[in-house]
Amino acid sequence: MPNAQQATKDESAVIRGVPTGLWIDGASRSATGNAVLSVDDPATGETLAEVADASPEDGLAALDAAVAAQESWAQTAPRERGEILRRSFELMTSRADELALLMTLEMGKPLAESQGEVAYAAEFFRWFSEEAVRVAGQWSMSPDGATRLMTLKRPVGPALMITPWNFPLAMGTRKIGPAVAAGCTMVVKPAAQTPLSMYALASILQEAGLPDGVLNVVTTGRSSAVMAPLIGDPRLRKLTFTGSTEVGRKLVEQSAEQLLRVSMELGGNAPFLVMADADLDAAVDGAMLAKMRNMGEACTAANRFLVHESVAEEFADRMAQRMAALRVGRGTEAGVQVGPLIDEVSRDKVSSLVQGAVDGGARLLAGGEPVGDRGWFYAPTVLADVPADAAMLTEEIFGPVAPITVFSSVDEAIFQANDTEYGLVAYAYTKDLATALHLAEQLDTGMVGINQGVVSNPAAPFGGVKHSGFGREGGREGIEEYLETRYVGIRP
């Protein structure tokens, strides 16, 4: 384990290496009036760095740069765009240690998880470097034989990308990768809590050869005031957002004015089903991943554990043992498995959801309280017999808390799983193929994980239904979000 002084030296070096000004037209510049906003370490509450705090005029300057670069970028050869992504993938991979440390510092997750996210984030660049050269249209004859029908794909145009703090790199590369591949320019607005990872990424893309103006990054403490003029600007053609359902809904309304192409990756309330015949060892392993990846701060986090009555008690006991054994601490420390939550508001929300469930009659099997007197830590928590009206069963917990309820039939499990306005992902453990297929068809979500606790994969279409949003990121579908189809009728 490194001694504290050494770690601090590495930490300041990695932070000093990141540009902290607004990234506009390939250069880092200060915000109007030199305004700054501070970036805090959620493990200590201390300020790590200050980054530029954009004004609405600064935001529009970023859009100006994206608009100016659009035409020549759209004409750049697909192979060249793909090679830039490929080099960015390689640069991210070779700098994984620095990027991971930076992410852990500003976001809190343990270093091993940050390393995992850097690898996952870089994979979107590799995937879309391969997709860039596979964009194709169609050629066919009209049914009456008189006309030839040709379709070709065109980049949508300048895109605005608004991303959350929970996966500071991957939520960016999942949008930037396909936009670069398709030939769109962009303005990215990362969350105010985690801007450093995105600025580090901007300079990597530049080093990989991305022309100035294609990617612009603005950070601001006034998201609504700075984003609204961009969303209302007729030069913008696409809005892609990852974040809460509440903010997503407002942005969809705003995007109606200019009739933007819109993609929304919003909140979730994932059910995790354990059927009577499940392999319980595998189910507990999967449950730990589905719950504890990112300290539970994931849209895909299992939010409700629905367990068949015949195995519920054993499952709950095993989960309680595993959760109680996890080591909580600052993500930079060796052996730490659970970092702090992002801020005080999030930590207090988790506390009040747990208190509400306990007051309503839930049995506390592990955890149940904040940890330490510095930073925003919360103990890994397991609750059994959670009453049906507990708020944690309907709201996103976004923390390390596993509520367990029971069911007695497959139909009841499906009903409970679908009884939510969200529809991002569902997980199910069963050894029976017919049950697995039935669940895959009946669960009302954009993604289903069968006998696996993680579904995220750059080669798969990630996204939700209902209030979890629309549009897909990754997979073959991911690039389509940044392409328009043009049809040309040709009469020979």
- Which residues carry out catalysis? 265, 299
Q: Please state, in angstroms and rounded to a whole number, the distance separating the CA atoms of residues 272 and 72.
A: 47
Strand partners of residue 484: 154
Q: Which of 76, 147, 223, 394 lies at the binding interface for ligand NAD (CB under 6 A)?
A: 223
Q: Please state, in angstroms and rounded to a whole number, the distance separating the CA atoms of residues 398 and 298.
A: 7
Q: Is residue 268 a contact point for ligand NAD (CB under 6 A)? A: yes
Q: Is residue 165 a contact point for ligand NAD (CB under 6 A)? A: yes
At residue 219's C-alpha, the angle toward residues 38 and 221, to 5°, is 60
Q: Is residue 19 a contact point for ligand NAD (CB under 6 A)? A: no
Work out how close the CB of 11 gets to ligand NAD at its nearest, in angstroms, rounded to a whole number. Answer: 23
Q: Which of 91, 266, 336, 386 lies at the binding interface for ligand NAD (CB under 6 A)?
A: 266
Tokens at 455, concatenated:
């579904």
The smaller minimum CB distance to ligand NAD, of residues 37 and 320, is found at 37
Q: Is residue 267 a contact point for ligand NAD (CB under 6 A)? A: yes
Choices 100-108, 122-130, 134-142, 221-229 (CB under 6 A): range interacting with ligand NAD: 221-229
Q: Please state, in angstroms and rounded to a whole number, the distance separating the CA atoms of residues 492 and 259.
A: 35
Judged by DSSP in three states, 88 sits in helix
Among positions 307-346, residues that touch ligand NAD (CB under 6 A) are none
The smaller minimum CB distance to ligand NAD, of residues 97 and 395, is found at 395
Report the candidate in 193, 18, 205, 38 with the shortest Cα–Cα distance to residue 99.
Answer: 18
Choices 238-246, 349-357, 402-410, 480-488 (CB under 6 A): range interacting with ligand NAD: 238-246
Work out how close the CB of 442 gets to ligand NAD at its nearest, in angstroms, rounded to a whole number. Answer: 21
Q: Is residue 255 a contact point for ligand NAD (CB under 6 A)? A: no
Q: Which of 59, 155, 158, 164 lies at the binding interface for ligand NAD (CB under 6 A)?
A: 164
How do beta strands 159-162 and 186-189 pair? parallel
Sign of CA dihedral 173, 167, 322, 423: negative
Cα–Cα separations (whole angstroms), residue 364 to 67, 359, 401? 55, 11, 11
Q: Please state, in angstroms and rounded to a whole number, the distance separating the CA atoms of residues 188 and 181.
A: 16
Q: Is residue 166 a contact point for ligand NAD (CB under 6 A)? A: yes
Q: Please state, in angstroms and rounded to a whole number, the distance separating the CA atoms of residues 452 and 449.
A: 5
Q: Is residue 192 a contact point for ligand NAD (CB under 6 A)? A: yes
Q: Is residue 189 a contact point for ligand NAD (CB under 6 A)? A: yes
Q: Is residue 224 a contact point for ligand NAD (CB under 6 A)? A: yes
Q: Is residue 113 a contact point for ligand NAD (CB under 6 A)? A: no
Work out how close the CB of 255 gets to ligand NAD at its nearest, in angstroms, rounded to a whole number. Answer: 11
Q: Is residue 162 a contact point for ligand NAD (CB under 6 A)? A: yes
The residue whose Cβ lies closest to ligand NAD is 243
Using CB atoms within 10 Å of the CB of residue 324, give its burial: 0 to 12 exposed, 13 to 18 middle, 19+ buried: middle
Work out how close the CB of 464 gets to ligand NAD at its nearest, in angstroms, rounded to a whole number. Answer: 6
Q: Is residue 396 a contact point for ligand NAD (CB under 6 A)? A: yes
Using CB atoms within 10 Å of the CB of residue 398, give its burial: 0 to 12 exposed, 13 to 18 middle, 19+ buried: buried
Choices 50-58, 156-164, 381-389, 411-419 (CB under 6 A): range interacting with ligand NAD: 156-164
A 10 A CB-CB count for 134 gives 11
Report the candidate in 154, 63, 420 with the shortest Cα–Cα distance to residue 267.
Answer: 420
Cα–Cα separations (whole angstroms), residue 80 to 95, 129, 134, 209, 223? 23, 9, 13, 9, 33
The smaller minimum CB distance to ligand NAD, of residues 224 and 409, is found at 224
Q: Please state, in angstroms and rounded to a whole number, the distance separating the CA atoms of residues 323 and 310.
A: 22
Q: Is residue 204 a contact point for ligand NAD (CB under 6 A)? A: no
Report the candidate in 435, 357, 57 with the shortest Cα–Cα distance to residue 229.
Answer: 57
* DSSP run (H or E) holding 129: helix 111-131
Dihedral angle computed from the Cα positions of residues 289, 307, 355 and 348, in that order, rounded to the nearest 10 degrees:
20
The smaller minimum CB distance to ligand NAD, of residues 406 and 479, is found at 479
Q: Is residue 466 a contact point for ligand NAD (CB under 6 A)? A: no
Binding mask 423-462 for ligand NAD (x = CB under 6 A): -x--------------------------------------
Judged by DSSP in three states, 159 sits in strand
Q: Which of 148, 154, 235, 250 lies at the binding interface for ligand NAD (CB under 6 A)?
A: 250
Q: Is residue 196 a contact point for ligand NAD (CB under 6 A)? A: no
The smaller minimum CB distance to ligand NAD, of residues 142 and 224, is found at 224
Residues that bind ligand NAD (CB under 6 A): 162-167, 171, 189, 191-192, 223-224, 227, 242-244, 247, 250, 265-268, 299, 396, 424, 464, 468-469
